[in-house]
Structure 1
C-alpha cells in the first residue's frame, strides 16, 4: 500500500503532507484508523503497512490538504482528500484541484 503526492502548483513533490490510513472493519462497517504519517522529500510515504500487516479489505487514505496549504501560506478549495483505491494511490495536488488515477 503506497502513495505518491505531487504538488502541481510548484512542480515539486508534496513534502510534509499529513495523511491517515484507515481500514473498513466488518461487521460494523466503521473505519478504524491504523496510522498517521507524513510524505517524505519525494512526496512518498513508504512503509504505511508492512506486507504482514496488510489484511484483505478496504483501505482509505485521508490527505490533510488544508493543513498542507496553510503551512505554505496558501488558501485552498479542498480541506481534505479521501481516496479508496487498490495498492497505490497517486495524487496530483494544487490549491484548487486534485486528481487521482490508477497507478502502475
Structure 2
C-alpha cells in the first residue's frame, strides 16, 4: 500500500509540476470578410504553399477551411522556422456557388514573405466581383 501511494504521488508531481504541456502557437492566420454581406465567409478552403528558390516551385504546406467566423488561426507552428515566400490560395468559387451567386474570381492568390518570427495575419475582403488584402495584426 505504501509503495502504491508513493508511486501515485510521483505521478501526480510529474504531471502537475514537470509535465505541463506547452501550448502550441502559430505564426500565420487569415480571415475572409464577405463585404457584399457584411459578414464573415465560413467554409472557404484556404491552401498554403511555400516557394522554393532552388526548385522555383511551390509546395503545399497545409490546407484549412475557414470557421464560422471566416477565420483560420493555425497555419505554421511557431515550433519551426518559417522564413520564406508563401502563397495563400482562397478557393472562392464554391463559396459563392453555395449561395447561388455568380462570381468573377474562381480563386484568389495572395503571395507574401515571412521575414522574421513575428505573427503574420493575412485577411481578405471579398465580394463576387472583387477582393482586397492587407497585412493585418
TM-score range, shorter chain: over 0.9
Cα deviation 1:71-90 (Å, max 9, x = unaligned): 11111011110001352211
Q: Does residue 1:65 correspond to 2:92, yes or no?
A: yes
Confirm or deny: 8 A CA contact 2:76 2:82 kept in the other structure: no
Number of matched pairs: 104
Greater length-normalized contact order (CA 8 Å, ≥ 6 residues apart): 1
2:127 to 76, 79, 94: 94
1:85 is aligned to 112
1:8 is aligned to 35
- State the distance in 1 between where 2:105 and 2:80 align: 31
Report matched runs for 1:48-59 at 5 Å: 48-59=75-86
Q: TM-score, normalised by structure 1?
A: 0.92
**Greater C-alpha Rg:** 2
Cα deviation 1:12-50 (Å, max 9, x = unaligned): 111111110000123112000011110011111011221
The gaps in structure 1 that reach 5 residues or longer are none
Structure (1/2) with the larger helix percentage: 2
